[in-house]
Amino acid sequence: MLDRNHQVMTRRFPGLLSHLSELAVDSQRFRLVSGVLLARLDDGTESPLCDTTDPVRQARVEVAGLGSIVGKSVLCLGLGAGYHVRELLAAVGPTGGVWVVLLHPASLSVLLGAVDLTDLLDDRRCRLIWGDLAAIADEIQRVPSSGVSPVIYCHEPSMAAARPALLPLARLVRRLRHDREQVRVAAPLIRENYRRNLCWTWAATGIDRLAGRLHGHPAVVIAAGPSLDGNVSQLPGLKGRALLLCVDTAVRRVIDAGLTPDLVCSIDPNRATTRHFVDVDPSLPLAFLPSVYPEVLARHTGPKLVALPRGDRLADRLQEISAKGSVRAAGTVTHFAIEVARRLGCDPVVFVGLDLALRGSRTHCQGASSPAPAGPRLWVTASGGGEVETTTDLDHYRQAIEQRITDDPGCRFIDATEGGALIANTVVQTLAEACLHWGQLPPLPGLPSRPTAAPPTEPPADWLAAWDQVFTEPWRRQG
């Protein structure tokens, strides 16, 4: 190790220096060739951890793509050869900071022995994070945000070469980045929907009012994958024995099979979501997020159940004053249906039609009015063994649902889809096997059946004040 690097490491990162001494074998995976750091992947090939032609220019271009980050905190996934970290430090300025997660600490040993890194290591704005998943997660929580989520920068070459124990972190960050991008793109529409739905959000029954009502009873979450065509005929026989939650995309297919679901779940902010409700009984109980397209609520005449998405500034403020009940949102209506089922106390939760994969060229059951999810194709492990083709969007949904299941170890999740992608930490069964003993359960308690009364033309004063605190344009001036 270069003396000047060693001196700074001893002063600023003595724990990391000690940790690196234990990684001599791992460091053999990395080598430096003409200023380019190479990593040997599991398949035996070598992958560069920086641009091989002009790494400084490439790092500058990538950081510029983040927009203005002056004074902000940046969570940087991967050190690489350090080029992008230097550019991030230049971009955040004297009041910002860069927290670098070492996805493969052994590579740092190689760099410290050949490259002068003292400008990075001695910069108080630059912090290094290392360790197992728990230690890294704990350190990430300490990243200052001043009420604003830190900017996330993913160094893709480093993520591709992450040590196996940290691969779940890399996948999680990719999913979070995907979700944030979806929110960013949809933000203007979601804000408008929030405004138009504010009165219905106030009037609807909050999910927490029904918390635990169905404790110990099973729930069947009915998604709109192509496999639903194969076992939808079994669902009417489950009426009254389990809570039947149907995502809006599948509701017409379910009704055509002779089943009236106990609850329809809808969250999509786009006008196209109204197509799912054509020729559907508008009095069916509806669970929604405030982001849903307003016409869905305007046409609906039955009981309405609302939950507020946790982490949204307005929703968090409304939760403080209303206690409606907040849930985690992940961009997929199936995730929302799981949240509703668990808040009602249901256990187990059984999935039907949750393929998250292609069947032939199809991504949805018959009658579903949804375009195929976008994104490149890839192959993932199938629930019955082997592999199945899917899309990157569907795979993001799978990862979000897997994370939801992982965070709820006390509940039993059963995948009775009978096909599709393998969902980690679920019990794979046929639908008949999953509900074999349900006939012995007591009758399922009912949910509210009285239609939600039409709300006033504007919400209460404290709700209006909450809106005005979050948005600069007062609610009353917007129509």
Give residue-wise pLDDT tens across range 297-320.
999 999 999 999 987 888 999 999
Q: Within a domain: residue 459?
A: no
Query: What is the reported pLDDT for 355?
Result: 95
Q: Within a domain: residue 445?
A: no
Query: What is the reported pLDDT for 452?
Result: 95
Which among 122-136, 222-236, 368-382 has the top mean pLDDT? 222-236
Q: Does one domain contain both 261 and 151?
A: no
Q: Does one domain contain both 54 and 128?
A: yes
Query: What gap in Å lies between CA 142 and CA 244, rounded to an integer?
Result: 41
Q: Within a domain: residue 171?
A: no
Q: Does one domain contain both 321 and 427?
A: yes
- Output the CA torsion 108→111→112→114 (10° steps): 160
Poorest-pLDDT segment among 27-31, 62-66, 256-260, 459-463: 27-31
Q: What CATH code is carried by the domain that includes residue 70? A: 3.40.50
Q: Does one domain contain both 68 and 193?
A: no
Q: Does one domain contain both 92 and 135?
A: yes
Query: What is the reported pLDDT for 438?
Result: 87
Query: What is the reported pLDDT for 182?
Result: 54
Q: Within a domain: residue 180?
A: no
Q: Within a domain: residue 89?
A: yes
More confident residue, 60 or 33: 60
Query: What is the reported pLDDT for 148?
Result: 54
The parent domain of residue 415 ranges over 189-440
Number of domains in the chain: 2
Residue 107, C-beta contacts closer than 8 angstroms, at least 6 positions apart: 27, 29, 30, 37, 39, 49, 79, 161
Mean pLDDT of 443-468: 91
Q: Does one domain contain both 150 and 220?
A: no
**pLDDT 10s digits, 238-296:** 999 999 999 999 999 999 999 999 999 999 999 999 999 998 999 999 999 999 999 99
Q: Within a domain: residue 466?
A: no
Q: How confident is the model at residue 178 (pLDDT cuts 50, 70, 90)?
A: low
> Token pair for residue 196?
């138009």
pLDDT at 147 over 50: no
Q: Does one domain contain both 126 and 229?
A: no
Q: How many alpha carbons lie under 13 Å from residue 254 in its C-beta half-sphere?
A: 32
Determine how many CB atoms are found less than 10 A away from the CB of residue 353: 33
More confident residue, 181 or 8: 8
Q: Within a domain: residue 131?
A: yes
Q: Does one domain contain both 101 and 197?
A: no
Burial of 171 from C-beta contacts in 10 A (0-12 / 13-18 / 19+): middle
CA angle at residue 402 from 423 to 291, to 5 degrees? 120
- Output the CA torsion 191→195→197→202 (10° steps): 120
pTM, full prediction: 0.69
Mean pLDDT of 95-108: 90
Residue 128, C-beta contacts closer than 8 angstroms, at least 6 positions apart: 13, 16, 79, 100, 102
Query: What gap in Å lies between CA 386 and CA 199, rounded to an integer?
Result: 49
Q: How confident is the model at residue 37 (pLDDT cuts 50, 70, 90)?
A: confident
Query: What is the reported pLDDT for 211?
Result: 95
Q: Does one domain contain both 198 and 120?
A: no
Q: Within a domain: residue 274?
A: yes
Residue 14, C-beta contacts closer than 8 angstroms, at least 6 positions apart: none
Query: What gap in Å lies between CA 322 and CA 171, rounded to an integer?
Result: 35
Q: Does one domain contain both 106 and 204?
A: no
Q: Which residue has the tokens 């079994």?
A: 234
Query: H/E element holding 246?
Result: strand 243-247
Q: Does one domain contain both 142 and 218?
A: no
Q: Does one domain contain both 95 and 195?
A: no
